[in-house]
Homo-oligomer: A and B are copies of this chain.
Amino acid sequence: MSKQLVVLDTSTGACCEPLTQAALDISQAETLAPMFKALGDPIRLRLLSMITSAEGGEACVCDMTPQFDVSGPTISHHLKVLREAGLIEGDRRGTWVWYRPLPQAMRALAAVLNTPVGAGV
């Protein structure tokens, strides 16, 4: 897990400095693609958005589930996909489970998208 997060070395946290001008290599692409894929569903995108924008930086499953038209198990499945993609982590606190984002992962994805057009000149 830590491996996939240092691929682009986003540890400096600078969001506007593109970290690579060169095209992604195969292993970088294979590391990052599953993360983008996890965001490729409207429900999961809303879940992540709810989690990142929640006060305190974390959100309870019990608060998120009622906001969707799908069943509880389906929400649980989507949270698992986000978790296995390395985008969020969660823990049970008594009866409820709380999730929070993993910022390094978000930065790694943002770094790809912040690459300026024509960087290879």
Contact = CB atoms under 8 A, between A and B. Distances in A.
Instruction: Kindly state the interface size class of chain A when it binds its partner.
Output: 35 or more
Contacts of A1: none
Nearest to A57: B118
A9 B109 CA distance: 20
A56 B121 contact: yes
A54 B100 contact: no
A45 B57 contact: no
A53 B101 contact: no
Which of A23, A101, A112 has the largest count of B CB atoms less than 10 A from its CB?
Answer: A23
Interface in A37-58: 37-46, 49-50, 52-57
Contacts of A44: 33
